[in-house]
Amino acid sequence: MTTLANQQMTAKPAKNTREIDTRPLLWPSVIVLFLWMIVPLAMTLYFSVIRYNLLNPMLTGFAGLENYTFLFEDPALWTSLWNTLVLVGSVLIITVVFGTLFAVLYNAEFHGRGVARLLVIAPFFVMPTVSALVWKNMLMHPVNGLFAWLQSLVGMEPTDWFTNYPMLSVIVIVSWQWVPFAFLILLTAIQSLDQEQKEAARIDGAGPVDMFFHIVLPHLNRAISVVIMIETIFLLTIFAEIYVTTSGGPGTATTNLAWLIYSVGLLQFDVGYASAGGVIAVVLANIVAIFLVRTVSRNLQQG
Amino acid sequence: MVDVVLQNIKKAFGDVEVIKGVDLHIEDREFAVFVGPSGCGKSTLLRMIAGLESISDGDLMIDGQRVNDLSPAERGIAMVFQTYALYPHMTVRDNMGFSLRLAKLPKAEIERKVNEAARILKLEPLLDRKPKALSGGQRQRVAIGRAIVRNPKVFLFDEPLSNLDAALRVQMRIEIARMHSDFDATMIYVTHDQVEAMTMANKIVVLQGGVIEQVGSPLELYHHPRNRFVAGFIGSPTMNFIDTQVQNVQAESVTVSLPGGGSVTAPVKDRGLKVGDKITLGVRPEHLLESGGDGQIQGKVLVVERLGGATYIYAQIEGNQTLTAEIDGNSPVKVNDAVTLGLSGATCHLFTTDGLALEQAARHPLAAIDRGHSVAH
């Protein structure tokens, strides 16, 4: 990501007709941003190659790649990577599908549309910890939860969601929070669809389904890639929802990379080991980001 | 035989009636042009024929069938939009073949029809391009191609040339006129440009405020406007209107006084006028003469516009009225010159105070002429 930003900066044509060189004026912000990035990164890199455990101050010294070796031998790493993938992938699919459907639905004219739109967007304003608590204690709770009550109404055994379907529960909560974002972006995109294009399609004989697949969806293509890009960056670091609900468990069922790093560093106090995990996370995030930014920018240029 | 019949068609948005009962018969293979100022309802009327707007009241018949409740696709029409409304993510080929694909025609059939339309419109080299790689005129052609492949009973055009530059507009005008004679199709065309209306139409429908003011051939509207609105709308520059009085009434002519003391006798049928009645004299700028004529008006030149072939002068006449005259381009007239503009009775129109024209005693020989099917062959 950093390299990409740098590229953009240098690629800017120097069409400066003014006498004064204005580039030095950029330096303060460039320097601040650079320090903002490089100091934590350098510290993480440094911690990842030393022996640093908060519970054992006697354990010091250069560790070389020991932390990394341990990490790669730890099955929890691979589980957490898989969990991260499952979480991000499922939430992306759910939010894009529901975001698109809601956008189409709430673009139609009906009475009270403004209020309805506001209600769809509302979950986005709730902070992650609060929404996780609401889901945990008021909806999915096996005793007090709304779902349990509904199940008891039809004579079913209440489900203990976080014990039996931990990952599904987390996915549901996170999706609930991110559907509004997708909805908002896609709704604005759908509103920019040329009315005459839709009318032309109607004259060409397109029914609602054809209209959706041949006209609306291609039009939303770019907006959907923007949604995917932005959401991926945020979803890779999902933490609060897991912290509040499952604490990465049961076992490692909902341990994603962010939670793994947290638990190693701040529950087991092995800073060196956690830093190695952090470096892995940075590398992975950058790989994903490079791919995403490339695809999306290509997509945006095409459109 | 595809004729389009509108019977007492009405359209209301809530309490506001925008089309107030339109009766119209567009015959088979006719090129009908709806023309009128902005907001007169011409586009709404076209969209009602297309099925994009519902019809509040009345019957719409296409090819003898009542189509009020049919969807746009079932009406056998095709429409060309002002903004072209091409599908940006599809190639030219897919744009033109979209309706056929939706109709589940076999691939080979679609291919054949698209290629045929592309050949007619000279779009063959562009078939695999996307719309954004085309120029305005090419996009317009693709939009027309999309209409052609459907082989519709009626072509509808909604101001299709307004987004093109002047030269291209003339060229596309000729192409559409030629298309009309080639396809022998019924076409309905909406425009606010009266030059397009005059040059392309068999039948012009002048609309104002949701009602039809007059229906007729271009020259019928030019020579025999039914009222003052049509007289002012058709023709460029606009017809001059002079407020005056009736001086004498005979069986087949009416004499009116002119500003500055003269008079002119127009061969029109009297409709119970009395001497001294207020009346409006209408005369087109191109019918004002620099000298001669049956009556004269003195004036002072305010503005001179030289177009080369012709010169427009704006002259101030008695009563603080302004007259526009189209005179010879070689005339040396200058601003502030005194001019004597002549008018001949035969080219004068008279409008009573209710705005209606007095009928000309004799029909203009060209009033019934058709645009002809050999325009661009």
pLDDT, position A27? 93
Confidence of residue A303 (pLDDT cuts 50, 70, 90): low
pLDDT, position B156? 93
- Asked if B246 and B197 sit in the same domain, the reply is no
Over 70: is that where the pLDDT of A16 sits? Answer: no
Whole-angstrom Cα distance, residue A252 to residue A264? 13
pLDDT, position A101? 94
Candidates B54, B81, B90, B130, partner chain A, best to mutate (most A CBs within 10 A): B81
| Boundary of a domain, candidates B215, B230, B245 | B230
Q: Cβ neighbours of residue A58 under 8 Å, at least 6 residues apart?
A: none
Confidence of residue B359 (pLDDT cuts 50, 70, 90): confident
- Please count the other Cβ atoms lying within 10 Å of the Cβ belonging to residue B336: 9
Whole-angstrom Cα distance, residue A10 to residue B350? 74
Q: Which residue of B has its CA nearest to A207?
A: B102
Asked if B137 contacts B172 with a C-beta cutoff of 8 angstroms, the reply is: yes
A218 → closest Cβ in B78, B89, B99: B89
Whole-angstrom Cα distance, residue A195 to residue B82? 12
User: What pairs with residue B356 in β-bridges?
Assistant: B227
Confidence of residue A14 (pLDDT cuts 50, 70, 90): low
**Distance from CA of residue B68 to its chain's centroid?**
26
**B87-134 pLDDT tens trace:** 999 999 999 999 999 988 999 999 999 999 999 888 889 999 999 899
pLDDT, position A33? 95
pLDDT, position A7? 46
Candidates B271, B285, B284; CA nearest to B356 is: B271
CA distance B93 to chain A (A): 14
Q: DSSP class of residue B347?
A: G
Query: Which residue type is seen at A83?
Result: N
Whole-angstrom Cα distance, residue B323 to residue B303? 11
Q: Alpha-carbon torsion B174, B175, B178, B183, what sign?
A: negative
A205 → closest Cβ in B52, B87, B102: B102
Instruction: Indicate whether B124 belongs to any domain.
Output: yes
Which residues does chain B have within 8 Å of residue A221's beta carbon, measured at their own beta carbons?
A: 89
Whole-angstrom Cα distance, residue A32 to residue A10? 18
CA distance A88 to chain B (A): 29
Q: Which residue of B has its CA nearest to A199?
A: B52
Q: Which residue has the tokens 């898989």?
A: A82
Across the range A94-106, mean pLDDT stands at 94
Instruction: Indicate whether B377 belongs to any domain.
Output: no
Q: Cβ neighbours of residue A121 under 8 Å, at least 6 residues apart?
A: A180, A183, A184
- Asked if B43 and B90 sit in the same domain, the reply is yes
pLDDT, position A4? 46
- Asked if B224 and B269 sit in the same domain, the reply is no
- Asked if B248 and B288 sit in the same domain, the reply is yes
Widest CA span in chain A: 81
Query: Which residue type is seen at B184?
Result: D
- Asked if B188 and B272 sit in the same domain, the reply is no
Residue-wise burial string across A136-166, b where 16 or more C-beta atoms lie within 10 A, e elsewhere: beebbbbeebebbeeeeeeeeebbbbbeeeb
pLDDT, position B374? 38
Q: Beta strands of chain B (E only): which ranges?
A: 4-13, 16-26, 31-35, 57-62, 65-66, 77-80, 154-158, 186-191, 203-208, 211-216, 240-249, 254-257, 263-266, 278-283, 295-306, 310-317, 321-328, 338-343, 349-351
% of chain A at pLDDT higher than 70 = 93
- Write down the pTM of the prediction: 0.79
Instruction: Indicate whether B361 belongs to any domain.
Output: no
- Asked if B255 and B189 sit in the same domain, the reply is no
pLDDT, position A217? 92
Which residues does chain B have within 8 Å of residue A194's beta carbon, measured at their own beta carbons?
A: 83, 85
Over 50: is that where the pLDDT of A190 sits? Answer: yes
Q: Alpha helix (H) ranges present in chain A?
A: 2-11, 27-48, 66-73, 75-107, 113-121, 128-133, 146-153, 161-164, 166-191, 195-203, 208-210, 217-235, 240-244, 257-262, 271-302
- Asked if B71 and B209 sit in the same domain, the reply is yes
CA distance A210 to chain B (A): 8
CA distance B219 to chain A (A): 34
Instruction: Indicate whether B366 belongs to any domain.
Output: no
Over 60: is that where the pLDDT of A229 sits? Answer: yes
**CB-based burial label for B163 (10 Å; 0-12, 13-18, 19+):** middle
Do the chains contact at A202 and B150, CB–CB below 8 Å?
Answer: no
| Boundary of a domain, candidates B164, B196, B230 | B230
Alpha-carbon dihedral B220, B226, B229, B230, rounded to 10 degrees: -10
Which tokens go with B96? Answer: 């033109």
Q: Cβ neighbours of residue A276 under 8 Å, at least 6 residues apart?
A: A48, A67, A68, A70, A71
- Asked if B121 and B45 sit in the same domain, the reply is yes
Asked if B229 contacts B212 with a C-beta cutoff of 8 angstroms, the reply is: no
Looking at A41-55, B281-295, B333-347, B362-376, which range is the least confident one?
Answer: B362-376
**Number of separate domains in chain B:** 2
Establish, for the pair of chains A and B, how many residue pairs have beta carbons separated by less than 8 Å: 61
Give the structural domain span for B241: 237-351
Looking at A14-28, A106-120, B155-169, which range is the least confident one?
Answer: A14-28
Whole-angstrom Cα distance, residue A270 to residue A261? 10
- Asked if B103 and B195 sit in the same domain, the reply is yes
Which residues does chain A have within 8 Å of residue B90's beta carbon, measured at their own beta carbons?
A: 218
List the strands of the sheet with B254-257, edge to edge: B263-266, B254-257, B240-249, B278-283, B349-351
Instruction: Indicate whether B369 belongs to any domain.
Output: no
- Asked if B104 and B42 sit in the same domain, the reply is yes
Asked if B86 contacts B142 with a C-beta cutoff of 8 angstroms, the reply is: yes
**B244-303 pLDDT tens trace:** 999 988 888 889 998 888 888 889 887 888 888 899 999 999 999 888 888 889 999 999
Question: CATH number, domain at B112?
Answer: 3.40.50.300
Enter the CATH code of domain A71-302: 1.10.3720.10
Q: Is A278 helix (H, G, I), strand (E, B) or coil?
A: helix
Q: Is B140 helix (H, G, I), strand (E, B) or coil?
A: helix
Domain ranges of chain A: 71-302
Q: DSSP class of residue B166?
A: H
Which residues does chain A have within 8 Å of residue B81's beta carbon, measured at their own beta carbons?
A: 196, 199-200
Candidates A22, A19, A15, A41; CA nearest to A282 is: A41
Which tokens go with A283? Answer: 């590398």
Name, of A90-94, B19-23, B77-81, the range with top average pLDDT: A90-94
Which residues does chain B have within 8 Å of residue A211's beta carbon, measured at their own beta carbons?
A: none
Q: Cβ neighbours of residue B34 under 8 Å, at least 6 residues apart?
A: B42, B45, B46, B188, B189, B190, B191, B205, B207
**Backbone conformation region of residue B246, classed left if phi is above 0, alpha if psi is from -120 to 50, else beta:** beta
ipTM value of the model?
Answer: 0.80
Do the chains contact at A197 and B87, CB–CB below 8 Å?
Answer: yes
Over 50: is that where the pLDDT of A6 sits? Answer: no
Over 50: is that where the pLDDT of A135 sits? Answer: yes
Candidates A243, A254, A245; CA nearest to A137 is: A245
Instruction: Indicate whether B273 belongs to any domain.
Output: yes
Which tokens go with A122? Answer: 């509302």
Confidence of residue A18 (pLDDT cuts 50, 70, 90): low
B72 → closest Cβ in A203, A214, A221: A203
User: What pairs with residue B248 in β-bridges?
Assistant: B255
Whole-angstrom Cα distance, residue A243 to residue A130? 12
Q: Is B281 helix (H, G, I), strand (E, B) or coil?
A: strand
Confidence of residue A10 (pLDDT cuts 50, 70, 90): very low
- Asked if B332 and B272 sit in the same domain, the reply is yes
Alpha-carbon dihedral B253, B257, B262, B265, rounded to 10 degrees: -10
**A23-32 pLDDT tens trace:** 889 999 999 9
Which residues does chain A have within 8 Å of residue B99's beta carbon, measured at their own beta carbons?
A: 203-205
Which residues does chain B have within 8 Å of residue A196's beta carbon, measured at their own beta carbons?
A: 81-83, 85
Whole-angstrom Cα distance, residue A172 to residue A129? 14
CA distances from residue A10 to A3, A5, A20, B27, B53 in whole angstroms, order as listed: 11, 9, 19, 66, 53
Question: CATH number, domain at B305?
Answer: 2.40.50.140
Q: DSSP class of residue B359?
A: P
pLDDT, position B250? 86
Concatenate the DSSP letters of all residues of A51-115 into one string: --BTT-TT--SB-TTHHHHHHHH-HHHHHHHHHHHHHHHHHHHHHHHHHHHHHHHHHS--TTHHH
| Boundary of a domain, candidates B206, B230, B254 | B230
